[in-house]
A and B are shown apart, each in its own frame.
Chain A
Amino acid sequence: DAMVIQNPRYQVTQFGKPVTLSCSQTLNHNVMYWYQQKSSQAPKLLFHYYDKDFNNEADTPDNFQSRRPNTSFCFLDIRSPGLGDAAMYLCATSGSDGNNQPQHFGDGTRLSIL
């Protein structure tokens, strides 16, 4: 089945130690998104790509970076994680055939900071 896959499901890192989360998709979608979701809150968009065009949200901290080396893969790098960065990180994709395409989410990576 075509899908969005996130690895790992759970990630533990130390305060200040860089961490990379990965996302891959077999849907061949142009658009990929990274969201941060904290407990009992809505997903918060960090950035998204339309193909290789990168779009950063104005309130996304500089600590968060992203790479999309090809259509299938997208990475979220957190350069110096703080305790406040502990959250679920969701990757999603959507097609670009019109503006009314659903977003398909991966299962998420739950990040803990020690």
Chain B
Amino acid sequence: QQPVQSPQAVILREGEDAVINCSSSKALYSVHWYRQKHGEAPVFLMILLKGGEQKGHEKISASFNEKKQQSSLYLTASQLSYSGTYFCGTEMAGTYDYKLSFGAGTTVTVRA
């Protein structure tokens, strides 16, 4: 079942912060985050496992709220290089099938 991502799009100026949310109606085992630039392949950012952990990649961090089945991606002090479409991919608890369901994506535009 496809997770729900919000917002659909966000426009930032360099140095501003943003939060992208990814929610599921099903119990999750993990949440993956990827960034895709126009015309390129998605690039892996990080995986969050159930247990509410946080992780970081450069000044991008994420959290996973197991109770809410929601993950949030935090873009802090955004840089021009952060522009792209961010996808969350969710892995259902108990499935063990190595498959991800991707959200519809959030397009981030960072302007100078």
Contacts and interface: CB of A to CB of B under 8 A. Distances in A.
Interface in B3-47: 29-30, 32, 34, 40-44, 47
Interface size class of A (residues with CB under 8 A): 20 to 34
Contact of B47 (A31, A43, A102, A108): A102
B32 A103 contact: yes
Interface string A43-65: 11100101000010000000000
Interface stretch (A11-19, A77-85, A93-101): A93-101
B103 interface: yes
A94 B98 contact: yes
A41 interface: yes
Contact of B30 (A42, A90, A100, A104): A100
9 contacts: A31-B98, A48-B99, A50-B98, A100-B29, A103-B32, A105-B43, A106-B41, A108-B40, A108-B41
Interface of B: 2, 29-30, 32, 34, 40-44, 47, 49, 87, 89, 91, 96-100, 102-105
Given A42-B102, A103-B34, A104-B44, 17 more contacts: A31-B98, A41-B104, A48-B98, A50-B98, A55-B97, A90-B41, A96-B98, A99-B91, A99-B96, A100-B29, A101-B98, A103-B42, A103-B100, A105-B43, A106-B41, A107-B41, A108-B41
